[in-house]
Amino acid sequence: MDNLPDAIAWLVPVSDEQGEIQDFVFQYVNQKAHEVTGEGFTCEEGLLLVADNQSIAGFAETLFDQYKEVFLTGITKEYNYYNPLVKKYFYVNRKRWENGVLSITRDRTAEIDAETVAREERQRHIEQLQFVTDSSLTAIGLYGIVRDPETREVIDLRYELINQMAERMTGRKAAQLVGRTMRETFPGIEKSGIWQLYKKLAETGESIQYHNHYTFDGYDLWYQVQGVRKNEHIVLSFLDITELKRSQEEKQQQAELLNSMLTNAPIGFAQYESIRDASGTITDFKVLLMNQMVAEIINSTVEEALKTTLLTISPVLKTTGAFDKYIDVVEKDERMEVDRHFGNHWYRLSAVKFGDGFILAGIDISQSYQDQSRLETINKELRRSNESLQQFAYVASHDLQEPLRKIQSFGDLLLNQFEPQLGLTGRDLIVRMQSASARMSLLIRDLLAYSRVSTHREAFRVVNLNEIISEVLEDLDVAMRETNASVFCDPLPSLSGDAVQLRQLFQNLIANSIKFRREHTPPVIQITCQVLYAGEAPAPLNEAGGSCYEITLTDNGIGFEPRYAERIFEVFQRLHTRQNYSGTGVGLSICKKVAENHGGTIVAEGHPDEGATFRIFLPQLATQAGKPDTGYAFARNTGSTGK
């Protein structure tokens, strides 16, 4: 027994009078037992376990409890423990034998040390592997193959290690995944068909590589996968290519959109690349891109056009000098715009440098050419019509006015020399004739004025409206004195226009204010001016953009019903009878035509017995945009003027 490698001891219980076990006595101890107990522990035959080892009472009492439990229960116990007295690891087997307890102890220190070293080495390898994988830009996972115990079929993969990139890609920490199985964690792999690839890899060991769009388990990822097997483990690496795929999809969509635009837009588009000889001189241009519209123009298909060159398509470019202009676009980076006739159509072409070539875009302007031709024809007809109208005006001013003057002269002669012979009836007829001829003469003059405003315009120049108003008031001096009229005028600006027409505009407006006065009320006319900016003016001027003047003329006359605000500007439209107010109904039509001739407009506001307001909107001079009005204010009252 002393030659055995195990320590053997047989202990028998020592009981008191009541039968309670108080200690154990060593009945047999082999030599090995003395070696494993160490100094300070006595295990000689005949000595007591507890009583004779009081120097290490705690250790002895622990052994006592173990022996007592085995003796009383009869259940064999196995222990692994570390003995600090000898600094070694032991395995102990204790069982009841006859009337005592047999203890067999084996030294496991060398075995434990080897396991510790192996465990520590494995841990170092794991840490090194973790460090290496964490440094990777791809997500990496190490998986243990899980097999069915009976059939040995691969049924799952268990996470054993993942790197930091895998954590970021899955949104889960390693602690949440290691130890769990893949199918349990990501059930979507079966729906996506990925599991079958992994299972085949685990069963056959054949490496895999594929792209996948994973849209399960709350993910929307594109990734590239590579997988290999080693014994009962597989390694999978995942490269997140989501952004790349989305970028590719966006570019594909943009390419499809561009292609759709090039195909369907009414714009010809082509890209050319220079063909150079050995000296670097451009000899031709190769077609790189062309849309359907250009292909149809040259009576070809896009596919055929891409196989040819510019001079092959149109050799005449060489002799017309157009080819040299395309060379200048490339060599000198000069933009080219030109109208060219091709077939039965006109095209406006634009070429710009692009790389070692140019991009050519063109639109069909045949309709514009036709419209321009029609417009020129219409303008010629309009000029002829204006000339005819001017000739008519000449005839009207001379041939029509001359008979009227004779009628009026003969009427005056009859009234002055033959009034007694005419009698009351004759005299009344002559007066009526004179009145009718006067009205007709006035109508002819107004029609001539309207005709001149519509057909004859002087070249625009800078006109000072303050001077225009002064001249108008001088012309209306008699009427103002007769009616005791007053005119108050704010400083007015200078603008670009026809002085004669602008004088007609303001003379007609002021004359109307004097004419359409209330009974026993002297006319009072107020003229003001302000600048309106883009968006504040009426529609015609807003569309043109820029700022304009709003010149307002307000009087205290008889006014008019608001419903007639537009009608009063129509030719021959009168709101009052000739018995109450003279006139032909042409004056305000002339005002509107003058405003329109100057790129502006005029509107009217009024109420019966509350006066009328006319707002004239005229464009500002470009040099005056945003500047205050200039000029001087004045008042005119029955001939007295203050400046």
Can you spell out the DSSP letters for 344-397?
TEEEEEEEEE-SSEEEEEEEE-HHHHHHHHHHHHHHHHHHHHHHHHHHHHHHII
Domain assignment present for residue 448? The answer is no
pLDDT single digits (tens) 511-544: 889 988 888 899 999 999 999 887 777 776 766 6
Checking if the pLDDT of 28 tops 70, the result is yes
Checking if the pLDDT of 67 tops 80, the result is yes
Domain range for 17? 7-107
Q: Look up the CATH number of the domain holding residue 628.
A: 3.30.565.10
The beta strands (E) that lie in 424-575 are given as 461-464, 486-489, 494-497, 524-532, 548-555
Q: Greater confidence, 142 or 573? A: 142
pLDDT single digits (tens) 370-409: 888 788 888 787 777 666 666 666 666 556 666 777 777 8
Q: What is the pLDDT averaged over residues 164-171?
A: 84
Domain assignment present for residue 259? The answer is no
pLDDT on residue 628: 46
> Cα–Cα distance between 492 and 643 in angstroms, integer?
13
Q: Greater confidence, 641 or 346? A: 346
Checking if the pLDDT of 629 tops 90, the result is no
From 442, 475, 491, the end of a domain falls on 442
Checking if the pLDDT of 475 tops 50, the result is yes
- What is the enclosing helix (H) or strand (E) of 565? none
617 with 480, same domain: the answer is: yes
From 182, 210, 242, the end of a domain falls on 242
466 with 596, same domain: the answer is: yes
Checking if the pLDDT of 246 tops 50, the result is yes
62 with 81, same domain: the answer is: yes
pLDDT on residue 528: 95
pLDDT on residue 493: 93
Q: What is the pLDDT averaged over residues 142-165?
A: 90
pLDDT on residue 85: 72
pLDDT on residue 492: 94
403 with 466, same domain: the answer is: no
Q: In 10 A of CB 97, how many CB atoms?
A: 13
Q: Which residues of 63-83 are buried (b: 16+ CB within 10 A; e: fewer)?
A: bbebbbebbeeeeeeeeeeeb
Q: Look up the CATH number of the domain holding residue 127.
A: 3.30.450.20
Domain assignment present for residue 540? The answer is yes
pLDDT on residue 153: 92
Checking if the pLDDT of 298 tops 80, the result is yes
429 with 569, same domain: the answer is: no
Q: Which amino acid makes up residue 136?
A: S
Checking if the pLDDT of 439 tops 80, the result is no
Q: What is the pLDDT averaged over residues 475-492?
A: 92
346 with 327, same domain: the answer is: yes
Joined tokens for residue 91: 């395995």
> Cα–Cα distance between 436 and 270 in angstroms, integer?
75
465 with 591, same domain: the answer is: yes
Checking if the pLDDT of 132 tops 70, the result is no
> Cα–Cα distance between 499 and 483 in angstroms, integer?
27
492 with 623, same domain: the answer is: yes
48 with 193, same domain: the answer is: no
- What's the length of the chain? 643
Q: How many domains does the chain have?
A: 5
Domain assignment present for residue 206? The answer is yes
pLDDT band for position 640 (cuts 50, 70, 90)? very low
Domain assignment present for residue 214? The answer is yes
pLDDT on residue 626: 46
Domain assignment present for residue 247? The answer is no
From 337, 364, 391, the end of a domain falls on 364
Domain assignment present for residue 94? The answer is yes
Instruction: List own/partner pairs for 161-168 with CB under 8 A and 24 or more apart.
Output: 161/126, 161/129, 161/130, 161/133, 162/133, 163/130, 163/133, 163/134, 163/136, 163/139, 164/134, 165/134, 165/136, 165/137, 165/138, 165/139, 165/140, 166/139, 166/140, 166/141, 166/238, 168/139
Q: What is the pLDDT averaged over residues 190-215?
A: 87
Domain assignment present for residue 255? The answer is no
505 with 635, same domain: the answer is: yes
Looking from the CA of 75 toward its CB, the CA atoms found within 13 Å total 6
85 with 138, same domain: the answer is: no
Query: Comparing 172-181, 429-438, 475-484, which segment has the lowest mean pLDDT?
Result: 429-438
> Cα–Cα distance between 505 and 335 in angstroms, integer?
48
pLDDT on residue 372: 81
pLDDT on residue 99: 92
| Spatial CA neighbour of 164 closest among 228, 240, 108 | 240
- Looking at every residue in the chain, the average pLDDT score rounds to 82
pLDDT band for position 80 (cuts 50, 70, 90)? confident
pTM of this prediction exceeds 0.75: no
The β-bridge relationship of strands 524-532 and 486-489 is parallel
Q: What are phi and psi of 185, to 5 degrees?
A: -80, -40
Q: What is the pLDDT averaged over residues 319-328?
A: 90
466 with 430, same domain: the answer is: no
pLDDT band for position 639 (cuts 50, 70, 90)? very low
